[in-house]
Structure 1
Amino acid sequence: MHEDIGSLVRRFYEQLWNNWDDSAVEHTLASDFSFRGSLGQQTTGRSGWRAYRDHIRRGSSDFHNQIITLVTDGDQAAARLLYSGTHTGPLLDFPPTGRRFSYSGAAFFTAAAGLLTDAWVLGDLHDLRRQLAMNNSQ
């Protein structure tokens, strides 16, 4: 029996993102994992996802994902999220400010054979850009 999608989504955020644990990637993401991140970039495969994650990490070394709500139905899941971090590197073309930010998002997942196969993530980029621009004007 394969792991349920709720456990996979929790691992995706807790281990792959919040703990930056590369050892969990192979038993969480399918080899052809299709990903659209909260900043709008799209990737395919585990290495593509890692490149996106590392891009975010360069902009916020303490980037954190908090699951507010998680709803599952068979091999699909939806999550309401809160993203937060410190602006320590370039992010959305804004130079680093060293200040904290947070923004809301939602993610939609599909799984098969005990692995996540697809994630489509939306982030409130208007709010994030507002915070980064505000931080730069201070």
Structure 2
Amino acid sequence: MSAEENKALIRRFFEEIDKGNIEVLDELVAENFIDHVQPSLPVPPGREGLKMAFKMLWDATPGYHQIEDMIAEGDKVVTRLTGHGTHTGSTPGIAPTGNELTLSAIVIHRIANGKIVEHWAEKDMSAFMRQLGVTSTSAQSSRAAP
């Protein structure tokens, strides 16, 4: 696949997730998908685990992804994005807050044979946890003080 075809695949991936269309992952993601991100949800490996994770996240924080930048080279696509959602459902250990959430991330997907086969991501989890009320800005700044 060309770089533009790979980018189109990743755009569709995020569009379908934003619609809550988890079943389309059977078409877009390889069965033996590898997620290199430290798991934060109790799901099995592979495509089925990814589907379970997205379902949990969709149920807890429905929203959408805004693609800020996308770069493709060879079999990899790098996407800088912002996720937007509302914390309306339970997440592990955190009751629904109703808070509006924003999460910035840089995500790398590797594509083979027209499907997503690997995933890496860096996310601003400290800001996300502050938005959920798990940590506070004052607690963060007091730790940074000399």
Structure of higher RCO (CA pairs closer than 8 Å, 6+ residues apart) = 1
Residues 70-109 of structure 1, C-alpha deviations (whole Å, 9 max, x = no match): 0000111111010111111223532111121112111011
Residue 29 (1) aligns with residue 29 (2) = yes
CA distance in 2 between partners of 1:120 and 1:112 (Å): 15
As a proportion of its length, which structure holds more helix?
2
Structure 1 segments of 4+ aligned residues over 3 angstroms from their partners: 36-43
Q: 1:39 to 1:14 in 2, by over 3 A?
A: farther
Change (3 A) 1:88 1:55: same
Moved more, 77-86 or 91-100: 91-100
Instruction: Tell me which amino acid in the other structure corresponds to 2:115.
Output: L
Q: In the comparison of the two structures, how many residue pairs are matched?
A: 134
* Distance (whole Å) between structure 2 residues aligned to residue 102 and residue 80 of structure 1: 13
Aligned pairs for 1:35-114 (under 5 A) are: 35-36=35-36, 40-41=40-41, 44-60=45-61, 62-91=62-91, 93-114=93-114
Per-residue deviation at 1:31? 1.1
Aligned to 1:90, the other structure's residue is in SS state coil
Rounded Cα–Cα distance in structure 1 between residues aligned with 2:81 and 2:23: 24
Contact preservation (8 Å) 1:94, 1:133: no
State the identity %: 25
RMSD of aligned Cα (Å): 2.6
Greater strand proportion: 1
* Larger Rg, first or second structure (1 or 2): 2
